[in-house]
Amino acid sequence: MPRLKGKIALITGAASGIGAATAALFAAEGAAGLVLTDLRPEALAAVAAPLGERVVALAHDVTREEDWRRAADEAVARFGRLDVVVNCAGIALPGDIEQTTLADWRATQAVNSDGVFLGCREAVRVMKEGGRGGAIVNISSVAGMIGDPKLAAYCASKGAARLLTKSVALHCARRGYNIRCNSVHPSFAATPMVEAMIARSRSPERTREGLAHASPLGRMAAPEEIAAAVLFLASDESSFITGAELAVDGGLTAT
C-alpha cells in the first residue's frame, strides 16, 4: 500500500532540492493532494507539472503571516483538510561571527526560524480541527546540532528549528491534538543551495571535496535520501515518534 495514501500535504521550498524531491516522493507514495509552495513560480510549476492533477503550486513567502494563513487555508479549501506540513524552505548565508552582518543574520532567521514557527503554528491551527491530527516535519540541519565556525547565522537558525520542534511536539501531545512534530537534520546534500555555497567559495573544487569527506560515508547526500526520511516521519509508520531529531548525515554527528 502507498505510504501516504489519502493524505494531504503542504511542502514549502518545493521548487528545488530537498523540497522538490520530497514532493515527487510524496506523489509517488499516494498523497491525495499536494500544496507546493515557493517564491520561484516558474521553477515551482516545473516541479508540479509531472505530479498529477491534485497538485497546487502556490507563491508563498514563508516569512509572512498572511502568506502562511493563505497557504494553509488553500489546502483545506481545495482538499478538505491538511495532514502533513513539511517546513523545507531555507537559506544559507555563510559568515563567521565577525563577518556576519545584522542584515544577513535577520534574513537567515526570518526564513529558517520565523518561517518554521509560522508553519508550525498554522499547521496546528488547521490540523487540530475535528481531532484529525497530522504530522509536521521541520527540515533543520546537522548545523542545528553541532557548530560550524563559518555558519554563525545558519547554525543559530537551525538550532532554533530543532528546539521549536520539541516544544511543538510536547504542546500538541499534552493537548491531545494527535499532531506529531519531528525534525530532520541533513548534512551537506547536493542541492542548489549547497552548490551556490560551493560556487561562492575561494576554491570550489577543494570545497566540494571537503564537504564530501565531512561525513564518514565520504560523499554528500542526494536530495532523495533526505526525502525518504521526511516520508517516514510524515507517514503512519512513525505514529509513536514525536519530538525526535533524525540525522541524515552519513555518520557526521557520530564522530
204 residue type, one letter = P
Together in a domain, 181 and 236: yes
pTM of the model: 0.95
Q: Say which residue the cell 577543494 belongs to.
A: 206
Which of 68, 79, 117, 154 is catalytic? The answer is: 154
Query: How confident is the model over 136-150, as pLDDT tens digits?
Result: 999 999 999 999 999
Sorting pLDDT into bands at 50, 70 and 90, what band is 20? very high
* Same domain for 206 and 133: no
Of the ranges 45-54, 174-183, 192-201, which one carries the lowest mean pLDDT score?
192-201
Q: What is the mean pLDDT of the chain?
A: 95
Work out the pLDDT band at 1, boundaries 50, 70, 90: confident
Work out the average pLDDT over 75-103: 97
- List Cα–Cα distances, 15 to 151, 160, 205, 206, in angstroms: 24, 24, 26, 28
What total number of domains does the chain contain? 2
Place of cell 548565508: 93
- Give the structural domain span for 211: 191-220
> In the annotation, is 154 catalytic?
yes
pLDDT digits (tens, 9 = 90+) for 49-72: 999 999 999 999 999 999 999 999
Q: Is residue 107 domain-resident? A: yes
How many helices (H) and strands (E) are present in the chain, helices listed first?
9, 7
**In this predicted structure, what is the pLDDT of residue 142?**
96
Cell of 178: 494527535
Instruction: Tell me what the mean pLDDT of segment 205-229 comes to.
Output: 89
Q: Which three cell numbers stand for residue 12?
A: 514549502
For residues 132 and 83, is the Cβ–Cβ distance under 8 A? yes
**Is residue 3, in this structure, part of any structural domain at all?**
no
195 and 93 belong to one structural domain: no
Distance set, CA 28 to CA 4, 44, 111, 171, 226 (Å): 9, 18, 28, 32, 15
> Within 13 Å and on the Cβ side, how many CA atoms surround 41?
3
